[in-house]
Amino acid sequence: MTVGSVSAVRQANLGLVLRTVRELAPCSRAAVASATGLNKTTVSSLVADLMARGLIRETGLSSRQRAGRPGVLLSLDDTSLAAIGLEVNVDYLALVAVDLLDRELLNVHIPFDARAAGAKASVQQIATVLREFTLDPVLAERRIIGVGVAIPGLIDAPSGAVTYAPNLGWQDLELRKHLTDLLAIPELPVLVDNDANLGAIAEYRVGAYSGTPDLVYVTGEVGIGAGVLTNGSLLRGASGFAGEIGHVPLDANGPECGCGRHGCVEALAGIDAILHRAVPDKFPDRPLSGKDITDLVTTAVKRAETGDTAAIGAIQSAGTWLGHGLAMLVNITNPRLIVLGGYFVPMGPWLLERARSAAAEDSFAPDTGGCRIELSTLGLSAAARGGAASMIYALDSGDLPLPVPRSSVAGR
């Protein structure tokens, strides 16, 4: 209720102008002034600031100006900057880079055995991979505005620390701090968030059902988690631990879960559980490595395609358990859409209908509360994609942590 400080007002207005240009581009400064209600002098000053930061550029002259000289048109600058998203999962690293229009520039999938490596070596490996990624010719000419890191576990988002990621074997790991130290790129924002949350952001921004404001993304890897968007915003809860659908207990007599309990959704429908039953002859006596998982998923899907009853039965059973878990989400959060990601996608032909039926069965509201259940089209890079998108859309709030390089300021 107090009058905001000048810098907070300016920050809000920088975000407002950026969003306006994103929406109206190509557009003149006058059009921005008209749409925002800000006066033209203010708009010119804000636009100059955004240009100096590499966020907006002039793209040409308007020929449709009704009177006076032709107006210079503005667009987002899709040539100067990039944002990176990175997902650390049990069996792979995924990296995605996007430009300011949230268009994909690079997409890399790297098999990586985080469980075997341990926390310390994993963090060092992540930093190395990130540095190499930024040296790719596609990115080398761009300034990186931030890195969004997706982790399958409980994250303390404000500090960027991993509270608990049982499938990685990580606990109380100050990931942001370590990455920032190792990367040693001054003022580079690093965001750490739950993989399902960032998957939900990716679906909302660029997925096949983008724009659906009440959307849940469910990760289908060794772990199962849900990123819950309600009215377009992430449901984080009091400590950022919302969406832990993987550890909802469904069967007290079920198999042991990575969390130490029995019969959690993850222990019944996670990829470990599926592969154990789908390809018992190939399942090793040791924890699955990243390569194991990739190979075994391929084998399981191939067998299911040829009518193998063990493979089909294992996937169908997982689909049913998953559906019972999704019903909890439906009863408690009433989404319009649940998107299944990760390895659930290649297993979709046998898993999806079972999941839909079980979810409908346990939903109190008729017709699953109006909720559709569909497969993701974003593959194994969904969370990384959402990490990159998050850094782009964070700019819209006017939080522009970019130092203006002196050389480029001097040149303007």
What is the Cβ-side half-sphere exposure of residue 135, based on CA atoms within 13 angstroms? 7
The span from the CA of 143 to the CA of 28, in Å, is 26
Of 1 and 135, nearer to its own copies (C-beta) is: 1
Q: How far apart are the first and last CA of the chain?
A: 39
The span from the CA of 71 to the CA of 65, in Å, is 6
Of 243 and 290, nearer to its own copies (C-beta) is: 243
Of 2 and 41, nearer to its own copies (C-beta) is: 2
Q: How far is the CB of 23 from its own copies (least distance, A)?
A: 5
Of 22 and 178, nearer to its own copies (C-beta) is: 22
Residues 6+ apart with CB under 8 A from 168: 88, 90, 114, 115, 119, 122, 151, 152, 153, 162
Closest CA to 232 of 200, 277, 274, 272: 200
Q: How far is the CB of 111 from its own copies (least distance, A)?
A: 28
Of 172 and 305, nearer to its own copies (C-beta) is: 172
Q: How far is the CB of 233 from its own copies (least distance, A)?
A: 8
Q: How far is the CB of 69 from its own copies (least distance, A)?
A: 25
Applying CB under 8 A, which residues contact its own copies?
A: 1-3, 19-20, 23-24, 34-37, 154, 163-164, 213-214, 226, 228, 230-231, 235-249, 259, 261, 264, 324, 327-329, 331-336, 362, 364-366, 369-371
Q: How far is the CB of 75 from its own copies (least distance, A)?
A: 16
Of 228 and 297, nearer to its own copies (C-beta) is: 228
Burial class, 260, CB count within 10 angstroms (exposed 0-12 / middle 13-18 / buried 19+): exposed
Q: How far is the CB of 4 from its own copies (least distance, A)?
A: 8
The span from the CA of 90 to the CA of 220, in Å, is 12
